[in-house]
């Protein structure tokens, strides 16, 4: 009875599974009190409230070739797991052959009445089943199943990264659109200033150097506009590739509307472990390697296989004659005796593979915590930097207005106007760039947390003021002609 129980239940040699989880703190530095860390939001990009972005993200799922390749890879791994699971059940095959054969006339011990030519025709079935006494087959199947689960997590990670890449490119493109509008409005102001200096020169109340300075300032702004157009074209092409379209025919309409900043969650390391697909993938690969050690250990013990064969055989085609039936049943045993260290080497490989997978898991967890902390810190300091930049931009606008008034009244040189206007433009561009970086850090945090979050209803989202230098400046420039 003990032998029967051993054959049916067997034992397993896989080590007790234990992950080397690093020590994690209770909370992150720089975490805010906004929102709550809840289950991942599959369509996390909707928090940016942009219909164009939502439409582009849908095209990633439908047409991105890298995502399609990841889906196919996952399907292949699921099929491999099914193939490994088949080893837990008997393998039954139909067998048969029809052959014409000739024996040698000089075959040893050949009797005179044996024919030289004869037929060998057979129809039957063959079944085999490995009795999994040591758990080898179960460990192989469990390892394959864990690997298939890891492949599913890898697919989720690939999808998450592609959506995050698209969101980053789109956010940067919209930031360039905001800058392009600012540059366009500024070029109008600089052109009016250039006309003013020419009029004052014609009236002999300005120096030729003022005209040159105004021309240089105008041309520099126009060059900046061209550079923005170049960078936007590259981002547009990158977005085309992500949504599975040809860059030659793909466009994204310009829209100088700042994207709102989404609400942000409270997050703890435990959330990272639950939410991130790459962490789940690393854990499943570690489990698969652990089962691999058990299978390698089982190879040191005898392998018992039950074989059954039945059918009918004849030299002609009287195959269904009861007298032509044949059959065989019984166990076969493979007992390892000498392999020149092959099995020990395979066990060493399996153990090293587990150690590698376990340390990779630990590294993935630490990297996950680092990435969340990086983005939380970035969002904290970018918010402070943007407040400071907005204050600087407002002051620079006022200085530009005052310097223009003083120049119009003859109380300052045009160099003061150029300096003040250039400072105001750079402050405006920095404010827009900081807002873009905040949005990109929001995407990074969503990626680091495994795909966004869900938050309670929030007040109207905060945006930045990207109004170009006051329209009053342009009006004064047009009225200040002598």
Report the candidate in 233, 69, 253, 238 with the shortest Cα–Cα distance to residue 167: 238
Q: What is the pLDDT of residue 26?
A: 64
**CB 210 within 8 Å of CB 417:** no
> What six digits make up the tokens of 337?
């005796």
312: enclosing H helix or E strand: strand 303-314
> What six digits make up the tokens of 77?
């791994």
> What six digits make up the tokens of 355?
């150690």
Instruction: Compute the distance between CA of residue 134 and CA of residue 117 in angstroms, rounded to an integer.
Output: 48
Summarize pLDDT for 147-197 with one digit per residue, the tens.
999 999 999 999 999 999 999 999 999 999 999 999 999 999 889 888 888
How many H-runs (helices) and E-runs (strands) does the chain carry?
10, 4
Q: What is the pLDDT of residue 194?
A: 87
Phi, psi for 6 (deg, rounded to 5): -65, -40
Q: What is the pLDDT of residue 71?
A: 96
**CB 131 within 8 Å of CB 138:** no
Summarize pLDDT for 52-74 with one digit per residue, the tens.
999 999 999 999 999 999 999 99
Q: What is the pLDDT of residue 482?
A: 37
**Sheet of strand 303-314: strand arrangement:** 91-102, 117-131, 303-314, 325-334
Report the candidate in 35, 34, 57, 37 with the shortest Cα–Cα distance to residue 45: 57
Low-confidence ranges of the chain (pLDDT < 70): 1-12, 26-27, 29-41, 109-113, 265-269, 271, 453-482
Q: What is the DSSP string of 95-119?
A: EEEEEEEE--TT-TT--TTS-SEEE
As to burial, measured by CB atoms within 10 angstroms (0-12 exposed, 13-18 middle, 19+ buried), residue 241 is middle
Report the candidate in 443, 441, 395 with the shortest Cα–Cα distance to residue 420: 395
Judged by DSSP in three states, 297 sits in helix
Q: What is the pLDDT of residue 267?
A: 60
**CB 83 within 8 Å of CB 143:** no
Instruction: Compute the distance between CA of residue 384 and CA of residue 47 in angstroms, rounded to an integer.
Output: 22
456: enclosing H helix or E strand: none
Q: Is 451 left (phi over 0), alpha (psi -120 to 50) or beta?
A: left
Q: What is the pLDDT of residue 226?
A: 96
Instruction: Compute the distance between CA of residue 185 and CA of residue 195 in angstroms, rounded to an integer.
Output: 16
Q: Up-side HSE of residue 464: CA atoms within 13 Å toward CB?
A: 33
Q: Up-side HSE of residue 407: CA atoms within 13 Å toward CB?
A: 28
Q: How far apart are the first and last CA of the chain?
A: 115
Instruction: Compute the distance between CA of residue 158 and CA of residue 67 in angstroms, rounded to an integer.
Output: 7
462: enclosing H helix or E strand: none
Contacts of 19 (CB under 8 A, 6+ apart): 283, 286, 358, 361, 362
Q: Rounded to whole angstroms, what are the CA distances from 6 to 127, 132, 182, 279?
A: 22, 9, 79, 37
Q: What is the DSSP string of 15-81?
A: PPP---PPP--SS-TT--SSS---S--TTGGGGG--HHHHHHHHHHHHH-HHHHHHHHHHHHHHHHH
Instruction: Compute the distance between CA of residue 221 and CA of residue 191 in angstroms, rounded to an integer.
Output: 10
Q: What is the pTM of this model?
A: 0.82
> What six digits make up the tokens of 181?
């509008």
Instruction: Compute the distance between CA of residue 480 and CA of residue 458 in angstroms, rounded to an integer.
Output: 47
Instruction: Compute the distance between CA of residue 99 and CA of residue 122 in angstroms, rounded to an integer.
Output: 9
Q: Up-side HSE of residue 463: CA atoms within 13 Å toward CB?
A: 13
Report the candidate in 131, 124, 57, 118 with the shortest Cα–Cα distance to residue 94: 124
Q: What is the pLDDT of residue 476?
A: 44
């Amino acid at each position: 009875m003990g032998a029967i129980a051993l054959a049916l239940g067997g034992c397993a040699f896989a080590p007790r599974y234990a992950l080397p989880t690093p020590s994690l703190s209770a909370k992150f530095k720089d975490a805010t009190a906004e929102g709550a860390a809840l289950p991942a939001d599959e369509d996390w990009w909707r928090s940016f409230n942009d219909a164009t972005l939502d439409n582009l993200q849908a095209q990633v799922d439908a047409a991105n070739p890298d995502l399609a390749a990841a889906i196919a890879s996952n399907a292949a791994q699921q099929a491999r797991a099914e193939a490994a699971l088949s080893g837990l059940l008997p393998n039954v095959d139909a067998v048969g052959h029809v052959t014409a054969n000739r024996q040698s006339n000089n075959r040893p011990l050949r009797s005179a009445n044996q024919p030289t030519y004869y037929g060998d025709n057979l129809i039957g079935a063959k079944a085999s089943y490995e009795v999994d006494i040591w758990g080898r087959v179960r460990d192989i199947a469990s390892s394959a199943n864990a690997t298939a689960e890891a492949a599913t997590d890898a697919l989720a990670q690939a999808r998450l990264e592609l959506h995050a890449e698209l969101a980053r490119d789109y956010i940067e493109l919209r930031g360039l659109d905001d800058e392009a509008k600012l540059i366009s409005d500024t070029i109008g102001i600089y052109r009016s200033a250039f006309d003013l200096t020419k009029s004052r020169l014609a009236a002999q109340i300005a120096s030729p150097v003022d005209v040159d300075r105004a021309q240089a300032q105008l041309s520099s702004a126009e060059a900046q506009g061209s550079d923005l157009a170049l960078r936007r074209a590259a981002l547009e092409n990158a977005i085309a590739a992500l949504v599975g379209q040809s860059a030659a025919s793909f466009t994204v309409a310009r829209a100088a509307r700042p994207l709102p900043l989404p609400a942000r969650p409270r997050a703890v390391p435990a959330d990272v472990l639950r939410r991130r697909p790459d962490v789940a993938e690393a854990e499943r690969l570690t489990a698969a390697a652990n089962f691999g050690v058990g299978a390698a250990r089982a190879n040191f013990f005898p392998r018992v296989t039950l074989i059954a064969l039945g059918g009918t055989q004849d030299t002609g085609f009287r195959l269904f004659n009861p007298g032509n039936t044949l059959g065989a049943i019984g166990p076969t045993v493979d007992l390892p005796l000498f392999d020149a260290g092959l099995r020990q080497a395979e066990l060493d490989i399996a153990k090293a593979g587990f150690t590698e997978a376990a340390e990779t898991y630990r590294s993935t967890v630490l990297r996950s915590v680092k990435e969340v902390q990086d983005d939380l810190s970035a969002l904290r300091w970018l918010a402070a930097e943007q407040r400071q930049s907005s204050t600087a931009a407002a002051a620079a606008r006022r200085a530009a207005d005052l310097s223009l008034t003083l120049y119009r009244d003859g109380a300052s040189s045009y160099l003061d106007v150029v300096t003040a206007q250039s400072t105001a433009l750079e402050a405006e561009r920095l404010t827009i760039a900081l807002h873009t970086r905040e949005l990109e850090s929001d995407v990074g945090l969503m990626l680091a947390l495994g795909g966004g979050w869900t938050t309670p209803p929030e007040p109207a989202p905060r945006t930045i003021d990207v109004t170009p230098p006051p329209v009053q400046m342009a009006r004064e420039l047009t009225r200040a002609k002598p």
